[in-house]
Amino acid sequence: LKQFCLQRRGRDRFCPRQLLLHRCAAGPPARPDLPGDMAEPAAKKAKIEVAQGDAPAAEAPAEVVEREEDDRAQRGPAIKDAVVFHPRDTTINVMESTVGGVLMPLTHGGLQYLLAGARASAGVKSGRYAFEVKIIESMCPADDPMARQKVPMPRTQLRVGFSTAGSSLFLGETEDSVCFDTEGALTHCRAKTQCAGKFGGDSVVAVLLNMDAGRPNANTISLFRDGVRISQPQPLPEKLLGKALYPTVTFKNCAVQVSFGPTLLAPLPFKCSSVQQAAAKDVVVSPAPKAPKSGQHEILFPVCLPDEGTFDWLDMFLESNPDYVELSDRAIAVWAERSGIVRQKTLSPASSNDKPDMAFGIPALGDCGILRVLQSVTQVQERNFVVMQVKANLVKQERAELLSKWSLPGFKKVALVLMATPKADFKSWSQALSLKAKQEASDAEFRAKKEEDKKRRETELRKKQLEKEKAKALKKQQAAAAALKRKMEVEKRKKEAAAKGEEYNEEDDEEMKALAAEAEDAEKEAEEPEEAEAEADEPMDEEPPKVELTADEKKSAFRKRPVPDLTAYVLSTTFTKFSVPDSDEGFDEIRHEWASAAKCKEYLRHWVSDKK
């Protein structure tokens, strides 16, 4: 190549690189016919020509037959109420637009790691209806470099499906919901099945729920992308059959538009009604929450002594008052776990119910940033809140700091004192929890003992079987030894008879007959089948024994939890500062739930004295 360039230097001025590019562009030179046995075989040449010729057309994939039919005549009058999202059916980090059905999650202060969820106000119990969802913005909030290995992927998530009333807003986590995600997986009770195509931004996905027994694909759920089916009808889980199912979305780091109709944004291959067009007899409509009588929503500050019904009372209160939202470190920890973030299962001595150990490996989840952000958006959410801070609500100075943070217009600040003897309903609730925990511990111990007994029986059985095999092998050895002894004795006597010039007849030798009988008996004994020992029947599946509370446990109104409300250090350094709220602290109302103000103060004085 260099010599060629030197020869043409005066005319073409091709450098080696240019010449190489020029030759590559022109293609390889024509290959001369190879002489003799270097020529390509005719068969190989024919194969090349066939491969380079017109290849037969690939078979077209079989078309998917759409079994869904057009909607029939109207099933009755449609629902009159608009299908919306009530505040109690959305997570606290969801911000909803006034029009358009747009839902946006908060993404600051650590909320970018937590899922958001919303459930519609109309649940389908029969018929066939669809709703649509579209990602209108994918968000990329600032991320802590230390948290990148701990955050579940993908960063932007969207799940669309249905759930039952009052169930978790995080689709697919429990047996009360079913959903499709952006990766095309159908999820129910944390079990995923890959059965659909993927979807993402700029796509309108429709979730079709068919609960019409008179139609094809009854009791199924399907997914469509831009009006095209991307999943075959998937049967509803048995747990959801016969229940009213509400359209639900779960998302993270994306703004979504949810459309319930009346018209579909992307029409389906068949005529189908939206949830907003559903017949009144086919759906259950959740009523809108009633406005508070005083015109103000409440912020409750429970004041209760540690380990005396604090969080048990809160759980009972939230169950009967779903319009209230818990604001506490415990709630943040549970929220993070349900968002797929794994927490180290270690009981740190610095962990308590009031301040649980945020061992998620994400600093933003443990620096109270989430509570600060939620506090700033409280005013725009029509909710009631419960600020559950055990130590802070008991210390006057810290109560004042909390009040300064939560002094919001439109909210009534209520101190709820829970001291002295609790009411009968709470005592029953607490004892039911104690009995349940005791029964679970007894069941676990019973199962462990059953498993231990089973292993012991299996070990004994293997030991007996090994002993039988050893005894059988010994009998075979003895039979072989007897046969060998007889054979050697016969040979010996034959030689002795031959030396004497006589002929040896084994049948005339009584001693040999005895040896032969002995060898035959030993051989039969070794080969005869052993009698199977009557094994002890394995116990049937027994029910674990039922436990009961002891007399002392029945007297106690508070159950003992595995983790204390306050650590030993925090309790020992602050219990002398505990006090009952007074009227001059700035509360709009002070309620004494279990006893009068005087009895609560007296009870606290005795409690502090006993601790000293």
- How high is the pLDDT of residue 58? 39
Is 20 domain-assigned?
no
d(CA 229, CA 220): 14
pLDDT of residue 527: 67
For residue 204, the one-letter residue type is V
- Report the CATH number at residue 602: 3.40.50
Domain final residue pick, 285, 308, 342: 285
Instruction: State whether 281 and 301 are in the same domain.
Output: no
The pTM for the full model equals 0.75
Residues 395 and 463 in one domain: no
Helix axes 510-527, 424-499, angle to 10 degrees: 160
Token readout for 243 is 């229940």
Q: Contacts from 569-576 at CB under 8 Å and sequence distance 24+?
A: 570/352, 570/354, 570/355, 570/391, 571/306, 571/611, 574/391, 574/394, 574/395, 575/608, 575/611, 576/608, 576/612
Same domain? For 454 and 568 the reply is no
487 lies in which domain range?
439-498+506-527
Number of domains in the chain: 3
Predicted pLDDT at 53: 42
Residue ranges in the chain whose pLDDT is less than 70 = 1-64, 74, 146-149, 346-347, 506-510, 513, 515, 519, 521-541
Sign of the C-alpha dihedral computed for residues 527, 529, 533 and 535 taken in this order: positive
User: Does any domain span residue 532?
Assistant: no
| Residue 36 in domain | no
Nearest Cα to 208, choosing from 266, 165, 154? 266
What pLDDT, on the 0 to 100 scale, is given for residue 573? 93
**For 37, which DSSP code?**
G
Both tokens of residue 388? 């559950």
Q: Are residues 225 and 96 in the same domain?
A: yes
pLDDT of residue 508: 63
Residues 271 and 319 grouped into a single domain:
no
- What does the alpha-carbon distance between residue 181 and residue 199 come to, in Å, rounded to a whole number? 8
Is residue 274 located within the same domain as residue 136? yes
Which of 285, 315, 345 marks a domain boundary?
Answer: 285
Specify if 445 maps to a domain: yes
- Same domain? For 381 and 332 the reply is yes
Residues 344 and 487 in one domain: no
Same domain, 279 and 316: no
H/E run at residue 314: helix 310-320
Instruction: Give, for 327, the enclosing helix (H) or strand (E).
Output: strand 324-327
d(CA 353, CA 563): 6
Residue 164 belongs to some domain of the structure? yes
Q: Which amino acid is at 7?
A: Q
Q: Are 220 and 324 members of one domain?
A: no
User: What pLDDT was estimated at residue 148?
Assistant: 65
Burial class (CB in 10 A: 0-12, 13-18, 19+), 45: exposed
* Residue 22 within any structural domain of the chain: no
Asked which of 251, 285, 319 is the last residue of a domain, the reply is 285
- Ordered DSSP codes for 149-214: TTS-S-SSEEEEEEE-TTS-SSTTSSTTEEEEETTSEEEETTEEEE-B----TT-EEEEEEEE-TT
Q: Which amino acid is at 178?
A: V
C-alpha dist (Å) from residue 380 to 262, 370, 587: 28, 17, 21
Name the CA dihedral angle for 323, 327, 329, 333, rounded to a multiple of 10 degrees.
40
Q: What's the confidence (pLDDT) of residue 19?
A: 43
Residues 106 and 246 in one domain: yes
Specify the CATH number for the domain of residue 245: 2.60.120.920
Domain assignment present for 196 = yes
In a domain, 55, yes or no: no
606 and 475, same domain (yes or no): no
